[in-house]
Amino acid sequence: MTLSFDRAAEATGAEVRGRERAPETLTVVTDTRSLNPGDTFLALHGERFDGHDFIGEALRKGAAAVVVDSPQAQSDGVAALIVRDTRRAYMDLAAAARAQFAGRVVAVTGSSGKTTTKDFLCQLLVATLGPSAVAASPGNENNEIGVSKLLLAATPQQQMLIVEMGARHAGEIAELVAIASPHIGILTNIGDAHLEIFGSRERLAATKWGLFSEGAQAVLNARDEISRNRASSLTAPPLWFGEGEPSLPGVWVRDEGTLVLNYGGASQTLSIRTPFPGAHNRANLAAAIAGALLLGVNAEEIAGNVGGLVLPPGRYENIALPAGPRLIYDAYNANASGTIASLTTFSSENARRRIAVLSSMAELGADAPAIHERVGAHAAAINIDVLLVGGDFAASFAAGAVRAGFSRDNIVTFGENEEAAQWLRKNATDQDVVLLKGSRKYRMEEIVQSLRAGAA
């Protein structure tokens, strides 16, 4: 949204310098690589950079104004907004832009599935309204910087904004909600993600529940125990969603071909074609459908568009090699609930052997060994033939699997990703299927890259 210079100064409480040189309206950018003449450069502080070091480059590229928190920053020749903290100023500008947006805003968060749900909802809305009417957070740009960027980029022509929200510290979702003021809040689930940072499941749950701190209509997972227990605290009843046989009134994807709608006093069963595997993805689909319905999209139209949905990159992505096994790359990230869901889906793959390559899950705190053992035990209880385990908690994966009856002879521990790739090259055949699942820190795409290079 376009902000006037004076409105931006008011929103940020800035000291203004060079007002006579200021542009009438601001287009705010934080990266000089994407800066066009006439834009306003906001100098953020990053972990490995300071945007103030790039002010000279911004001016050379034609910046018309700058937003800085260092009064000593060189901004000769252009207007400047001097603020206390540029990160906070970016959020304040985003909140001001949001106040001018006349369309509807949906926020999506959860321990797992939020990016998939956001993408499904975006695709359903685009199919009905067209691409120019809908904007969504790209990739997983779900922190205060990504949320602010989306809100500031919104246009008057857009009717819907879908904002993904992530949290790595207590209270962060409520902070993002204060900026975005969503009409609808979709909470996919509350699991074990980032327990090391949050310290307890209760603090994690309270942070996720911040999604409803500004009164957003709640869309909740009927299979999520914490959501069921907390629902009575909402100011209005939630719209429930789920996968499988309905247990509460709401939106249910009963199976790959059936959508059941039972809420608001009406009941409807529609045929759908779900083009991706997994009960967890059907739950994400149900959440997205619930959001689309609340936004006024016709149920029959939604059902007809389900068959065209695609998963985001890195989510249960089938990769065919010129030679060797078929790969399923699902290592965009990992937590316990997501890994268990992926393993369950993988266990139904049609192949001679199902080989699961698991790297560890990050940021689980003191519960990490027990959580990894639980995942290993789950792998033992389903149709998995071989386990390759790596990362900091490889031994816990293996211990849980063996304790649950999995043969130790069918467990391989690897250190570097190349060790796993070498084992697969030597032992896996084109009749096998391989799942790659683990947290981002373990860079499991290196296994894909190695196998591709070896097969070339």
Residue pLDDT, tens place only, 71-119: 888 778 899 999 999 999 999 999 999 999 999 999 999 988 999 999 9
Question: Over pLDDT 90: what percentage of the chain?
Answer: 85
Query: pLDDT at residue 194 above 70?
Result: no
pLDDT of residue 323: 86
| H or E element that contains 205 | helix 201-209
Q: Residue 413 CB: number of other CB atoms within 10 A?
A: 15
Domain containing 344 equals: 317-455
Q: Which residues contact 384 (CB under 8 A, 6 or more apart)?
A: 343, 346, 347, 354, 355, 356, 406
d(CA 15, CA 275): 54
Give φ, ψ of 314 to 5 degrees. 80, 5
- 330 & 215 share domain: no
- 121 & 239 share domain: yes
d(CA 11, CA 266): 45
Asked whether residue 174 is domain-assigned, the answer is yes
The length of the chain is: 456
Q: How confident is the model at residue 412 (pLDDT cuts 50, 70, 90)?
A: very high
Domain edge (last residue) among 262, 286, 308: 308
Cα angle at 37 between 31 and 41, to 5 degrees?
Answer: 35
pLDDT of residue 391: 96
Residue 395: both structure tokens together: 């031994």
- 334 & 436 share domain: yes
Model confidence over 307-324: pLDDT tens digits?
999 999 989 999 999 889
CA dihedral sign, ordered 307, 313, 319, 321: positive
pLDDT of residue 192: 66
| H or E element that contains 123 | helix 114-129
pLDDT of residue 332: 87
HEC string for 70-93: CCCCCCCCCEEEECCCHHHHHHHH
The terminus-to-terminus CA distance of the chain in angstroms comes to 48
Rounded to the nearest 10 degrees, how much is the dihedral formed by the CA atoms of 155, 158, 159, 160?
Answer: -90
Tracing tokens 């939106």 back to the chain, one arrives at 251
- 8 A C-beta contact, residue 159 and residue 147: no
Residues of the chain by 3-state class (helix, strand, coil), percent to 5: 45, 20, 35
Q: How confident is the model at residue 198 (pLDDT cuts 50, 70, 90)?
A: low
Closest of 260, 250, 194, 256 to residue 227, by C-alpha: 250
Determine which of 130-139, 193-202, 271-280, 382-391 has the lowest per-residue pLDDT on average.
Answer: 193-202
Asked whether residue 95 is domain-assigned, the answer is no
More confident residue, 200 or 116: 116
d(CA 438, CA 445): 10
Identify the DSSP state of 43: -
Q: What mean pLDDT do residues 208-222 have?
A: 97
Q: How confident is the model at residue 226 (pLDDT cuts 50, 70, 90)?
A: very high
Residue type (1 letter), 344: T
Asked whether residue 89 is domain-assigned, the answer is no
Query: Rg (Cα) of the chain, in Å, rounded?
Result: 24
Residue 397: both structure tokens together: 């994966």
- 259 & 131 share domain: yes
Domain edge (last residue) among 84, 110, 129: 84
Using left for φ > 0, alpha for ψ between -120 and 50, and beta otherwise, residue 199 falls in left
* Count of structural domains within the chain: 3
Side-chain half-sphere of 406: how many Cα atoms within 13 Å?
A: 29
- 287 & 324 share domain: no
Asked whether residue 272 is domain-assigned, the answer is yes
- 257 & 325 share domain: no
Determine which of 150-159, 198-207, 220-229, 420-429 has the lowest per-residue pLDDT on average.
Answer: 198-207
- 18 & 115 share domain: no
DSSP SS3 for 68: strand
Domain at 350, CATH number: 3.90.190.20
Asked whether residue 60 is domain-assigned, the answer is yes
Q: Which residues in 291-437 belong to E strands, given as ranges?
A: 317-319, 326-329, 353-359, 386-390, 411-413, 432-437
More confident residue, 362 or 37: 37
Query: pLDDT at residue 57 above 90?
Result: yes
Mean pLDDT, all residues of the chain: 94
- 321 & 450 share domain: yes
- 358 & 426 share domain: yes
Asked whether residue 93 is domain-assigned, the answer is no
- 368 & 332 share domain: yes
Q: What mean pLDDT do residues 153-161 have?
A: 96
Q: What mean pLDDT do residues 377-401 have?
A: 97
Closest of 105, 121, 240, 231 to residue 177, by C-alpha: 105
Model confidence over 231-288: pLDDT tens digits?
999 999 999 999 999 999 999 999 999 999 998 888 999 999 999 999 999 999 999 9
Domain edge (last residue) among 247, 276, 308: 308
- 133 & 162 share domain: yes
Domain at 15, CATH number: 3.40.1390.10
Query: pLDDT at residue 195 above 90?
Result: no
Tracing tokens 């969603």 back to the chain, one arrives at 241
Model confidence over 142-151: pLDDT tens digits?
999 999 999 9
Domain at 236, CATH number: 3.40.1190.10
- 8 A C-beta contact, residue 435 and residue 343: yes
Asked whether residue 275 is domain-assigned, the answer is yes
Count of H-run helices and E-run strands, the chain: 16, 22
Determine which of 44-53, 341-350, 406-415 has the lowest per-residue pLDDT on average.
Answer: 44-53
Q: How confident is the model at residue 378 (pLDDT cuts 50, 70, 90)?
A: very high
Residue 178: both structure tokens together: 């204060």
- 123 & 62 share domain: no
pLDDT of residue 128: 97
pLDDT of residue 201: 75
Asked whether residue 322 is domain-assigned, the answer is yes
d(CA 135, CA 121): 11
Question: Over pLDDT 70: what percentage of the chain?
Answer: 98
Q: How confident is the model at residue 48 (pLDDT cuts 50, 70, 90)?
A: confident
